[in-house]
Amino acid sequence: MTKKEKNGAHCSFCGRPEEAVEKLISGPESYICDKCVRLCIEIVDKKPIHHELKILKPKEIKASLDAYVIGQERAKKTISVAVYNHYKRIRSLQKESEIEYSKSNVLLLGPTGSGKTLIARTLANILDVPFAIADATTLTEAGYVGEDVENIILRLVQAADYDIARAEQGIIYVDEIDKVRKTTGNVSITRDVSGEGVQQALLKIVEGTIANVPPKGGRKHPNQEYIRVNTQNILFIVGGAFVHLEKIIAKRLGKSTIGFDVGEARVFDTNEINYLLSKVEPEDLIQFGMIPEFVGRFNSIANCNELTIQDLVDILIKPKNAIIKQYQYLFAEENVSLKFTDDGLRAMAEKAKKTGTGARALRMIVESLLLELMFDIPSDPTIKEIIVDEECITSQKKPKVIRLQTS
């Protein structure tokens, strides 16, 4: 038995296992799947796969974002313009235009739970392009234990079902980018593998290069087959909380603005933080610990404000996929009406605000509140209506249950 037979047969080109394809053709030392055969036929016949870009105007992009993302008006406008210009640039390259547009990568900053990831994910759905999420804290530069940055590209290729041409027009969101800031005052002779090194490793693929991607992921090694992916037209969005960045901005503004107390012990309220972050400049990010070359790759910087109590209430009920709407639908399938009072909604928003995790806490609160009812209702056809009020949140009182009249 050969080594490949022992480990299970995989396509030598795309890496798909035998169970994931219709047919796997065996050769002396390699395999090829039916999908790769079809792709090879396309190439030989000079009939390249062409993906028509769905280019929406900035107002159309923002209107679609509004249906899912509450608040963050400035951030949605900024990213709508950046995305429109990015895909217009791709179209001009396809038409071999004389004018070349620079690449428009986007940096999103704001507290956790403010909607950074949701904006990026919703964008991918709106534009119907492959989308991949990566966490910067898991990445290391080549040669160190951890995940190579090329594995981010592999996730996008997998999201495109190994259609390289489609993947090359996708969107990649890298979260927690602030966690790989350069360590200040580091005089060690060892490399800063979790900080500056990661930023350096990301530079090339963010700017645009031909990346050699291991088809099965993991670490690179000699004599390995690679998938070659051009990252020139991939839109990179990076996000991070950038905790205490407002203090750096306040210190800069304080040099020319009367009225700012920029003492180290100063704690800014929500409105002050939102205002200060709206004034962010590249020099503030460099002072925070991002290297100048990396900051220079992101010519669109958008600030996601900390969510207010009213924002959190709106998140519960207004988006197309609002949490309350989801649970009302689940209960309706059991012929039960689920209602929340205005005071009850506000109490949930206030409780979520106290957790410090923004909108992420809302689902946990609703799930915990309705767990017992979701357990009982399928086996109890007498329940007609459930009412959740403020006391259910503040005093752990059980939701009010209204039953059918029985004779």
Residues contributing to the annotated binding site: 11, 14, 33, 36, 111-118
The DSSP code sequence of 172-205 is: EEEE-GGGGPPPTT---SS--TTTHHHHHHHHHH
- Give the whole-angstrom CA distance, residue 308 versus residue 289: 29
388 three-state secondary structure: strand
Strand partners, 10: 17
Give the residue among 152, 165, 133, 243 at the shortest CA–CA distance from 201: 152
Strand partners, 172: 132, 236
- Give the whole-angstrom CA distance, residue 145 versus residue 57: 43
Residue 230: DSSP 8-state? E
- How many CA within 13 A on the CB side of residue 30? 8
CB within 8 Å of 265: residues ≥ 6 apart: none
- Give the whole-angstrom CA distance, residue 110 versus residue 72: 10
Tokens of 46: 């000079």
Tokens of 167: 């993947």
Planar angle of CA 167, 31, 161, nearest 5 degrees: 20
Residue 34 to residues 17, 23, 142: CA-CA distances in angstroms?
12, 5, 33
Show binding-site residues for ATP.
Answer: 111-118
- Give the whole-angstrom CA distance, residue 304 versus residue 288: 18
Residue 323: DSSP 8-state? H
Show binding-site residues for Zn(2+).
Answer: 11, 14, 33, 36
